[in-house]
Amino acid sequence: MTRKRRCGDRKDGRKLRSLAPYDTVSPYIMVTRSDAQNYLSDKFETSAVDRYVQKKRNEGLIHFGVLHVLLAAYVRMLSQKPRINRFIAGQKVFSRHNIEINMAVKKELKADQTNTVIKVLFEPTDTAQEIYQRFQDALQKSFADQDNDFDHTARLIHTIPGLVKKFTVWLLRTLDYFGLLPGALLKVSPFHGSMFITSMGSLGIPPIYHHLYNFGNVPVFVAFGAKRYEYVMNPQGQVHKRKYIDYTIVTDERICDGFYFASGLKLFRHLLAYPAQLDFPPEQVFEDID
- Reference 242, options 230, 227, 224, 228; nearest CA is 230
Answer yes or no: are the C-beta atoms of 70 and 83 closer than 8 Å.
no
Report how many domains make up the chain.
1
Residue 284, in any domain of the structure: no
- Reference 257, options 124, 81, 73, 42; nearest CA is 81
Predicted pLDDT of residue 114: 67
Residue 8, in any domain of the structure: no
Within a 13 Å sphere around the CA of 143, how many CA atoms are in the beta-carbon half? 10
Residue 3, in any domain of the structure: no
Predicted pLDDT of residue 18: 94
d(CA 125, CA 144) in angstroms, rounded, equals 28
Predicted pLDDT of residue 287: 96
Residue 144, in any domain of the structure: yes
Residue 109, in any domain of the structure: yes
Answer yes or no: are the C-beta atoms of 179 and 10 closer than 8 Å.
yes
CA 30, 210, 65: angle at the middle one, nearest 5? 135
- CATH number of the domain encompassing residue 34: 3.30.559.10
d(CA 153, CA 238) in angstroms, rounded, equals 57
pTM of the predicted model as reported, rounded to 2 decimal places: 0.94
Q: In a structure prediction context, what are the per-residue pLDDT tens digits for the chain, which is 290 residues long?
A: 567 888 999 999 999 999 999 999 999 999 999 999 999 999 999 999 999 999 999 999 999 999 999 999 999 999 999 999 999 999 999 999 999 999 988 766 565 566 788 999 999 999 999 999 999 999 998 887 666 667 777 778 878 888 899 999 999 999 999 999 999 999 989 999 999 999 998 888 999 999 999 999 999 999 999 999 999 888 888 898 999 999 999 999 999 999 999 999 999 999 999 999 999 999 999 999 98
For residue 21, the enclosing domain spans: 13-279
pLDDT digits (tens, 9 = 90+) for 179-228: 999 999 999 899 999 999 999 988 889 999 999 999 999 999 999 999 99
